[in-house]
Amino acid sequence: MRAAVFHEYGGRLVVEEVADPEPPPDGVVLHVGATGICRSDWHAWMGHDPDVVPPHVPGHELAGTVVAAGPAVREARLGERVTAPFCLGCGRCAQCLAGETQICDDDYQPGFTGPGSFAQYVALPRADLNLVPLPDSLGFVEAAALGCRFMTAFAAVTVHGRTAEGDWVAVHGCGGVGLSAVMIAVAVGARVAAVDVDPVKLERAAELGAEVTLDAREGDPAAAVREATGGGAHVALDALGSAATCAASVGSLRKRGRHVQVGLMLGDERNVPIPMSRVISHELELVGVHGMAVRHYPVLLDAIGAGRLDPARLVGATVALEDAGAELAAMSGFTRHGATVIASF
Ligand SMILES: [Zn+2]
Ligand SMILES: [Zn+2]
């Protein structure tokens, strides 16, 4: 099969012929229909993730058709159109038994701990627990656009943020995951204040229903959110992952508000200062989110089927497998607007 491979961190991603994958005993092989290009792929390529060892095929935001299944796969899966979360739970650990497959103690992540979906075929273990059948109405490109940004934003806003109708939600950072959060919060009936340093992203946030947009370069974004929301947001998300956006998110909350850390904290910003005195005096909650449990997919797919959510609106471009390397390299410049999805292999 054809796959996009890098042989060293930061080295060129080359499309080459590699062996077709075999289905694991408890898994399947998918014919990949579409796969998103995500900042997590960029981090893997740059060598920020010790699980990733070159030569490596990235790709974890996938959708496709089951073309082979191992002997232990219980359900008749051949021909099924599916997606899967980027974090495949084992089904046996304490987290999985509690339904929290996204923080499995022994997780498998295509594109990180194993070969990913920047390829014509990808093998996925643990199929019975983790495969999510797609409704006929949802195309592969739209389904690829669900992971990982959209489903993580869905978990952040609904499961962890517990956002209710009429709440104010502050979204700090309006890249892929931030704009997803804006759309989801609006669908829940929340009022959204979107914060970024890029006027184009703020414009997109407004198109998706953000009531207030704030340019973080113009003064203190936390104070601006408190001012615009009559005392602070009920729920605030750091959707970028930086010391500045994290502090702004915590600072933008009203009393008993909830900060959800969505953006990854990497490199020098793994450990950032948090104003804990404010957490105490305001009785704030701080929550992290590492993706969405596979059991929440039906609610997400229902909302899409009913037209309340439309992840396709967040797709900026569809490209071919040959373009993946250039797209990944472009992420070093923080220039892209909208998700890029590989749709031809
Ligand atoms: Zn597990
Ligand atoms: Zn991703």
180: CA distance to ligand 2 center in Å?
A: 12
- Residue 269 has a pLDDT of 87
Convert the pLDDT of each residue in 126-184 to its tens digit.
Answer: 999 999 999 999 999 999 999 889 999 999 999 999 999 999 999 999 998 999 999 99
Q: Report d(CA 68, CA 29) in Å as an integer.
A: 5
Residue with tokens 């936390």: 222
> Residues near 80 by Cβ (< 8 Å), separated by ≥ 6?
65, 66, 131, 133
How confident is the model over 70-124, as pLDDT tens digits? 999 987 789 999 999 999 999 999 999 999 999 999 999 999 999 999 999 999 9
Query: How many residues are recorded in the chain?
Result: 345
Which residues make Cβ contacts (< 8 Å) with residue 95, sequence separation at least 6?
Answer: 89, 101, 103, 104, 105
The confidence score (pLDDT) of residue 318 equals 95
Bridge partners of 339?
Answer: 315
d(CA 67, ligand 2 centre) in Å: 24
Alpha carbon distance 17, 107 (integer Å)? 28
> Which pLDDT value is given to residue 336?
65
pLDDT of residue 39: 86
Express each pLDDT in 321-333 by its tens digit. 999 999 999 888 7
pLDDT at residue 217 is higher than 70: yes
CB-CB contact of 189 with 165 (8 Å): yes
pLDDT band at 335 (very low <50, low <70, confident <90, very high): low
State how far the Cα of 126 lies from the Cα of 145, in Å rounded to an integer.
Answer: 22
The H-or-E segment that residue 120 falls in is: none
Residue 50: which pLDDT band, with cuts at 50, 70 and 90? confident
Q: Ligand 2 centroid to 38 CA: how many Å?
A: 4
Note the ligand closest to the C-alpha atom of 95: 1
* pLDDT tens-digit series, residues 250-296: 999 999 999 999 998 887 888 999 999 999 999 999 999 999 999 99
- Residue 309 Cα to ligand 2 midpoint, Å, equals 19
pLDDT recorded at residue 334: 62
Tally of CA atoms within 13 A in the half-sphere of 336 that contains its CB = 23
Report d(CA 342, CA 345) in Å as an integer. Answer: 8
Core vs surface per residue 242-267: b (16+ CB within 10 A) or e: bebbbbbbbbbbbeebbbbbbbbbee
- Distance (Å) from CA 96 to ligand 1 centroid: 4
CA distance 188 to 157: 9
Ligand with the closest atom to the CA of 262? 2
Q: Which ligand is nearest to the CA of 38?
A: 2
CA 79 to centroid of ligand 2, rounded, Å = 25
> Token digits for 261?
């850390």
Nearest to 112 by CA among 22, 68, 47: 47
Per-residue pLDDT averaged across 206-223, rounded? 97
Q: Kindly report the pTM of this predicted structure.
A: 0.95
Other CB atoms within 10 Å distance of the CB of residue 331: 18
Ligand of minimum distance to the alpha carbon of 175: 2
For residue 91, the ligand closest to its alpha carbon is 1
Is pLDDT at 1 greater than 70 in this prediction? yes
- Token pair, residue 116, equals 């990913």
Return the structure tokens found at 251.
């600072």
> Going by DSSP bridges, is the β-strand pair 315-320/339-344 parallel, antiparallel, or unpaired?
parallel
DSSP characters over 187-236:
HHT-EEEEEES-HHHHHHHHHTT-SEEEETTSS-HHHHHHHHTTS-EEEE
Please state the rounded mean pLDDT for residues 14-40: 96
Taking the centre of ligand 1 as the mean of its atom positions, its distance from the CA of residue 7, in whole angstroms, is 30
Residue 25 CA to ligand 1 center (angstroms) comes to 17
Ligand nearest to the CA of 44: 2
Burial group, residue 336, by CB count within 10 angstroms (0-12, 13-18, 19+): middle
